[in-house]
Structure 1
Amino acid sequence: MVELALGLLLFFLPHLMVGQAPMVRLRQRLGAKGYRGVFSLVVLLGLVLIVVGMGRVDDVRLYQPPAWSQHLAPLLMLLACYLLLLSQLGGAISRQTAHPMSLAVLLWALAHLGANGGLSGTLLFATFALYSLLAIWRQYLRGVRPRLRPGRLGRHHEIWLALFTLALFLSLLLLHPHLFGGRSLV
């Protein structure tokens, strides 16, 4: 559990500190490339510790998820896949939200919080959900508002976006037990 907690701290603390005085001074000292390198290394170390921590923890059951959450999780994941791709590729619905990446992570976390119930999963997914909400709030305070992000996939962008979303969702659905553990949904 120590590795998981330390990994979450190393993963999220640099993200939370972006734009704060210590990070601005560090960027001035190291330059843009050096700063990005150090930032990336710390976050990557955090990610490695999260993976190692999740693999080593003796999971204690905190709660029994309701049966309906097993059916809601795939729907939330489909929406998360769409928002994730939208954040990278643009599209018409970007007029409705300025935070597609943060919303994707929030839906991913909520889907897994609702479908799991173990201590390590709850710690992991609750931390991601909380960070996503905080990121949305911080962007709102900075004045980030919805705007059209033109699609990058050409003439039939929205159709391609839907097809890529479906492909990503089905890939995650089929590979989830092999990559991340858990039971198969198909």
Structure 2
Amino acid sequence: MSWAGFAVVFAAFFLTHSIPVHPPIRTRLTGIFGTRGFTLGYSALSLAMLAFLIRAAGQAPYVQLWPQMPWQRHAVHLGMLAVCLILALSVGRPNPFSFGGSRNDRFDPARPGLIRWSRHPILLALIIWAGMHLVANGDLAHVILFGLLGSFAMAGRLLIDRRKRRDLGEDRWQTLDAARREAAVLPIPLFRAEVAGRMVIGLGLFVGLLWAHPHLIGVPAL
């Protein structure tokens, strides 16, 4: 694949991420497929385009910036284990500060879970994913790929904060954020069935990604 082809795939990735969530288009799609249908469809499209983009980076002209060392792969494994646990412990839980929250009216700032450390755990997972893969892939195409995606996730936190401040109102946002930061460091006991179940799911996701990596990305993870 040429650099031009890689650029086209990159442009398609961002278009498929931005166009469906444009308010008028999202409203129309939600009306057709329902909120759950839109969320599932958008998630499937996003993951498929991400896999396509990563494969395109692997097929772009190879320009080495730094060599890959064995310790880098181990760092990626540890980072991805953290990513999987973060996702499992945060997806589908109340989070009025970011996207991906569910039943936000039930959010308890005294027991915020991972939100105690980050208002945007899903974006944090994306930043760790991009950063760890950036370390282990020192060729130009992958540096562009993971560098831009990681930067996009970091910038996204500021954009979402701005939107949520507007939606919730500055006073309400500040009150919730202050209560979140004052919560106990470990606000959810690890022995709770829900937390234990989510951690098992996270471990299962990690194992599944190790298995699926060569099939989806074309490169073995181990």
TM-score by length of 2: 0.61
2:193 to 140, 147, 156: 156
With over 3 angstroms needed to count, the CA separation of the structure-2 counterparts of 1:55 and 1:76, relative to structure 1, is closer
Deviates more, 1:98-107 or 1:118-127: 118-127
Alignment of 1:2-151 (within 5 A): 2-13=4-15, 15=17, 23=22, 33=31, 47=50, 50=53, 53-54=56-57, 56-90=59-93, 92-142=113-163, 143=165
Contact 1:78-1:169 at 8 Å conserved across structures: yes
For 2:219 and 2:194, how far apart are their aligned partners in 1? 34
With over 3 angstroms needed to count, the CA separation of the structure-2 counterparts of 1:170 and 1:16, relative to structure 1, is same
For 1:64 and 1:107, how far apart are their aligned partners in 2? 20
Deviation of 1:64 (Å): 1.8
Deviation of 1:53 (Å): 2.6
> How far does the alpha carbon of each residue in 1:90-114 deviate from its partner, in whole angstroms, 9 at most, with x for none?
3722333221111111111111111
Deviation of 1:47 (Å): 4.9
For 1:175 and 1:25, how far apart are their aligned partners in 2? 36
Contact 1:113-1:125 at 8 Å conserved across structures: yes
Deviates more, 1:127-136 or 1:55-64: 55-64
Deviates more, 1:62-71 or 1:81-90: 62-71
Contact 1:65-1:117 at 8 Å conserved across structures: yes
Contact 1:80-1:107 at 8 Å conserved across structures: yes
- Which residue does 2:209 correspond to in 1? 172
Classify the secondary structure of the residue corresponding to 2:63.
Answer: coil
Count of residue pairs the alignment pairs up: 175
With over 3 angstroms needed to count, the CA separation of the structure-2 counterparts of 1:78 and 1:16, relative to structure 1, is same
Contact 2:87-2:122 at 8 Å conserved across structures: yes
With over 3 angstroms needed to count, the CA separation of the structure-2 counterparts of 1:80 and 1:48, relative to structure 1, is closer
Matched-pair identity in %: 29
Ranges in structure 1 where 5+ consecutive residues have no aligned partner? none
With over 3 angstroms needed to count, the CA separation of the structure-2 counterparts of 1:3 and 1:86, relative to structure 1, is farther
Deviation of 1:16 (Å): 6.0
